[in-house]
Structure 1
């Protein structure tokens, strides 16, 4: 993780590019929907937010393995265990997506308003979604890197795995916007937590076999 932070600090253009993407996309939504005339409904607000977060997450995590040359990956193979590498990447990407998500949510709320009634539930949902996106996309990035860094393969593999996460987070977000009781979102939150644990366990167990190929 220390190496990841140093590398990100050295190449700050990557983080700056992601933040710029967030700012520009949100501002384009503001111009397109003309919020001053109240044309942006809560349902549209929710859908736009998660579309922006999804594509920003893909852009942020895709470089985990796909942005590295095979020579560097071979060097990592000689000095660290595969378990340590995948855990470090997942934790680092989780921190990166958490930062990006909360900054994006703050700016999104500032520009397009904030119709969320239960802020705590929405933030917990955002936290679990960021962890889920990170663990899923990190493993997919590793698989795609072994197939010649194929972006198309990453999209094909990512969609069926990310779809259940998106369905859960959109529903919980809608409940938070409506101010419903937490009991109505408990099943979805537990499902999100279970998906995160399963994907994390699968990454830990299967990555060593992938790393040796």
Structure 2
């Protein structure tokens, strides 16, 4: 009876609600210890925007908007896509012994979404500093930037989980990611135009709901499909 109580108590202590924050904290500590990765992404953002500034100066609104989302895409590839690619088989086996598949993938999705929100804010600041500020609604564009960063992070985290089980991982991510990310970039660029206009465009909220629906679909696919990869 005593051993059963101990087992039940351990099971409660190791519930998913406790594992997910612990896994997120683990990723945060690794990111803090490996600061060269974070600073490398920041250097990439600053240098890319600076090159754009040297070649184009302060571009028009549409070019400014397009450049922001293209750079955000490459920032996401550099910052988020490494989630599974840097984990060795031994480390994944250790995670398999202490956590479930759904807890693990949810923690990755949440951490990468928070990371991309920070990157989106920093990118917007550097954009406004070097390329000017054509925005009429800065807060609205920041919110759209957060939404776009979360969407990019969800897609590339899911793709990184799939590519980690195959050879030529980087090439596989590019092949799978291109047809998935294009619709989201088009939606984001159209939604973001509202931050440049004094009047809200028609159908704006429908496009926002569609973008959120795409993000929820990616989360559902990751939670459903990742356990099959987890067992491999």
What TM-score does the superposition give when structure 1 sets the normalisation length? 0.94
User: Structure 1: how far apart are the matches of 2:50 and 2:204?
Assistant: 30
In structure 2, relative to structure 1, the CA distance for the partners of 1:130 and 1:34 (3 Å cut) is: closer
Shift of 1:182: 6.0
Name the counterpart of 2:27. 4
The count of residues paired between Structure 1 and Structure 2 equals 209
Q: Is the 8 A contact 2:120 2:149 kept in 1?
A: yes
Q: Is the 8 A contact 2:45 2:123 kept in 1?
A: yes
User: Bigger radius of gyration, 1 or 2?
Assistant: 2
Q: Is the 8 A contact 1:46 1:173 kept in 2?
A: yes
1:83 to 89, 98, 102: 102
Q: Is the 8 A contact 2:124 2:142 kept in 1?
A: no
What TM-score does the superposition give when structure 2 sets the normalisation length? 0.87
2:66 to 47, 55, 65: 47
Q: Which runs of 5+ in 2 are unaligned?
A: 1-23
RMSD: 1.2
Q: Is the 8 A contact 2:138 2:195 kept in 1?
A: yes
Q: Is the 8 A contact 1:116 1:179 kept in 2?
A: no
Structure 1 residues 82-161: aligned runs within 5 Å? 82-148=101-167, 150-161=169-180
Shift of 1:174: 1.7
**1:12-58 deviation digits (Å, cap 9, x = unpaired):** 100000011001011111101133xxxx1111111111111100111
2:183 to 127, 149, 164: 164
Q: Is the 8 A contact 1:121 1:182 kept in 2?
A: no
Q: Is the 8 A contact 2:57 2:131 kept in 1?
A: no
